[in-house]
Amino acid sequence: MQFILYLIQKNRSFLLFFVLELIALFLTIQFHSYRKSKFINSANEISGGLYNNVTSFRDYLHLREENEILAEENTKLINYINSSTPKKTIFLDSIDSLNQQKYTYTPAKIVNNDFHKSNNFLTIDKGLNDSINVDMAVVNPKGIIGITTNVSNNYVSAISVLNTNFKVNAKLKNADYFGTLSWDGKSTKEVQLKDIPRQAVLKVGDTIITGGRSSIFPAGILIGSVSNITYRNNRYEQINIALFNDIRNVSNVYIIKNLHKTEIENLEKRRNE
């Protein structure tokens, strides 16, 4: 206490000057409207900036929730379009010629994503309670991601496109030449397209989409673009496809249910008996 009193005594001239300056500033602001408004505006500018930063931080914290709401709204829109109009969406051919809905889209989130192995799988936060089952396509607006394989009440496991056992029918976007898409277990950014007939005109940069010759993926889902072509005996030996998706970083997805899948499979089963 004595030390504090000593400091006050020692600096009394400065403290007195400081107090008088504060009084003068207060009187100037109080009795001069222009300076008062300038001071208030400056204070508002500072506080407004602080509030804006706080709001931005709060918005960042709620970004995940906003993304989930947006995904829900997108799903409603996709399902509405598929059930009411024959126009194509970002997922292209999701409706048949009779304007009958063939597919439904369920928004979901990847909770675990393997991509370091040769046989990689995804875990997704939807299951039987959400009408999700095995052999359903997993996509996002950029393209294919996987196919569901095992399902529990609240979760589903999916084979990733980055799995050496993954296969899907694919085609050139600008021509009706079909092949089989698979992964060679090497780059996480590329898959391989095989069985394309040699009469097909193919060049680097061409877009590859799903062919629709299965009951899992609708036709026209994006896959990627041709990144490299090797030939042998005037045939396509290997065609590398650069995926539009970075599978390592995908999060929000859609699970596609084919409403005619059971009917198609039963028909094909009877045909093969």
Instruction: Locate 163 and state its tokens.
Output: 């799995």
Entry pTM = 0.68
Name the domain count of the chain: 2
**36 and 127 share a domain?**
no
**50 and 93 share a domain?**
no
CATH number of the domain at 236, please.
2.40.10.340
CB 224 within 8 A of CB 173: no
CB 229 within 8 A of CB 196: no
Tens-place pLDDT, residues 162-192: 999 999 999 999 999 999 999 999 999 999 9
**159 and 244 share a domain?**
yes
Tens-place pLDDT, residues 81-128: 665 544 444 454 444 444 578 899 999 999 999 999 999 999 999 999
**85 and 143 share a domain?**
yes
Which SS3 state, helix, strand or coil, does residue 271 take? helix
| Average pLDDT of the chain to the nearest whole number | 79
Q: In this model, does residue 146 exceed pLDDT 80?
A: yes
pLDDT at 68: 64
**72 and 30 share a domain?**
no
**186 and 234 share a domain?**
yes
Give the distance between the most distant pair of CA atoms in the chain. 107
Rama region for 172: left / alpha / beta (φ>0; ψ in -120 to 50; rest): beta
More confident call, 201 vs 9: 201
Amino acid occupying residue 142: K
The span from the CA of 267 to the CA of 110, in Å, is 33
Amino acid occupying residue 11: N
Kindly state the average pLDDT of the residues 14-41: 56
Amino acid occupying residue 184: D
Rama region for 96: left / alpha / beta (φ>0; ψ in -120 to 50; rest): beta
**Boundaries of domain holding 51:** 2-61
Residue 156, exposed/middle/buried by CB under 10 A (0-12, 13-18, 19+)? Answer: buried
**88 and 207 share a domain?**
yes
The residue from 15, 44, 61 where one domain ends is 61
The residue from 38, 61, 84 where one domain ends is 61
Residue 51's alpha-carbon distances to 39, 45, 60, 65, 228, in angstroms, are: 18, 10, 14, 21, 52
**54 and 129 share a domain?**
no
Tens-place pLDDT, residues 49-69: 454 454 455 555 556 655 665
User: pLDDT-based confidence at 30, cuts 50/70/90?
Assistant: low
Q: In this model, does residue 206 exceed pLDDT 90?
A: yes
CB-CB neighbours of 255 under 10 Å: 26
pLDDT at 93: 46
**42 and 93 share a domain?**
no
**140 and 233 share a domain?**
yes
- What is the distance of C-alpha 47 from the center of its chain? 36
User: pLDDT-based confidence at 232, cuts 50/70/90?
Assistant: confident
**132 and 235 share a domain?**
yes
Kindly state the average pLDDT of the residues 223-236: 92
The residue from 61, 80, 105 where one domain ends is 61
**175 and 213 share a domain?**
yes
